[in-house]
């Protein structure tokens, strides 16, 4: 991952406006734990995208990934507007809904969390959304539903 980061950074020395490479570097920084560096690169992607649109990714992914960087930093209120922008741009990506569901879970709004995770699961069945929804069910006192979701997450 560190080698990829170096390659992306080197490439950007000659093509600083390549939003795809900036996006890939941001993802690499995030994987290496440099969340503020990732956020900075996602900001650049978002800023430059109107003049230099990404070819391999969608700008909604940059908004979502920026939000998720804030989730990893436990800065949920900072994360929320970015994932909401991602959802506004593209309602068809399950992981955008999953990210917002996780944010709402951590903010204590279990009803909204469950609703978003329901949408994520209607788009694509995935263990992360089942797990998060199970946690939201636990927090909201819905014991039967929590067991089903946590079991499903474990099976997957």
Give the tens place of pLDDT for each residue, 89-145: 999 999 999 999 999 999 999 999 999 999 999 999 999 999 999 999 999 988 777
* Same-domain status, 43 and 117: no
Say yes or no to pLDDT of 56 above 80. Answer: yes
Percentage above 90 pLDDT, the chain: 87
Say yes or no to pLDDT of 1 above 80. Answer: no
> At 7, is the pLDDT very low, low, confident or very high (cuts 50, 70, 90)?
very high
Which of 74, 90, 106 is the C-terminal boundary of a domain? Answer: 90
* Same-domain status, 42 and 97: no
Range of the domain at 111: 92-156
* Same-domain status, 107 and 148: yes
Say yes or no to pLDDT of 18 above 80. Answer: yes
Which of 42, 66, 90 is the C-terminal boundary of a domain? Answer: 90
Residue 128 pLDDT? 96
* Same-domain status, 30 and 101: no
* Same-domain status, 74 and 4: yes
* Same-domain status, 112 and 141: yes
Over residues 56-72, mean pLDDT: 97
Q: What is the pTM of this model?
A: 0.93
Residue 153 pLDDT? 81
* Same-domain status, 29 and 98: no
Contact 45, 26 (CB under 8 A): yes
Residue 114 pLDDT? 97
Residue 150 pLDDT? 78
Region of 108 (left: φ > 0; alpha: ψ -120 to 50; beta: rest) is left
Which of 58, 90, 122 is the C-terminal boundary of a domain? Answer: 90
**What distance in Å separates the CA atoms of residue 152 and residue 86, rounded to the nearest whole number?**
27
Say yes or no to pLDDT of 31 above 80. Answer: yes
- The total number of structural domains in the chain stands at 2
Say yes or no to pLDDT of 147 above 80. Answer: no
Residue 149 pLDDT? 78
Residue 156 pLDDT? 82
* Same-domain status, 2 and 63: yes
**CATH number, domain with residue 119:** 1.25.40.10
Phi, psi at 22, each rounded to 5°:
-60, -40
Contact 67, 93 (CB under 8 A): no
């Amino acid at each position: 991952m560190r080698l990829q980061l170096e390659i992306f950074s080197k490439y950007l020395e000659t093509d600083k406006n390549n939003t795809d490479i900036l996006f890939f570097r941001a993802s690499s920084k995030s994987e290496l734990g440099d969340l503020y560096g990732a956020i900075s690169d996602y900001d650049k992607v978002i800023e430059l995208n109107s003049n230099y649109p990404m070819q391999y990714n969608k700008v909604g992914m940059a908004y979502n990934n920026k939000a998720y960087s804030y989730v990893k930093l436990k800065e949920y209120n900072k994360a929320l507007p970015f994932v909401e922008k991602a959802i506004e741009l593209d309602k068809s990506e399950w992981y955008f809904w999953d990210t917002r569901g996780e944010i709402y879970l951590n903010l204590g709004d279990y009803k909204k969390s469950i609703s978003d995770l329901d949408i994520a699961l209607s788009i694509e069945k995935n263990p992360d959304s089942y797990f998060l929804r199970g946690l939201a069910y636990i927090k909201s006192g819905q014991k039967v539903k929590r067991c089903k979701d946590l079991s499903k997450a474990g099976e997957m």
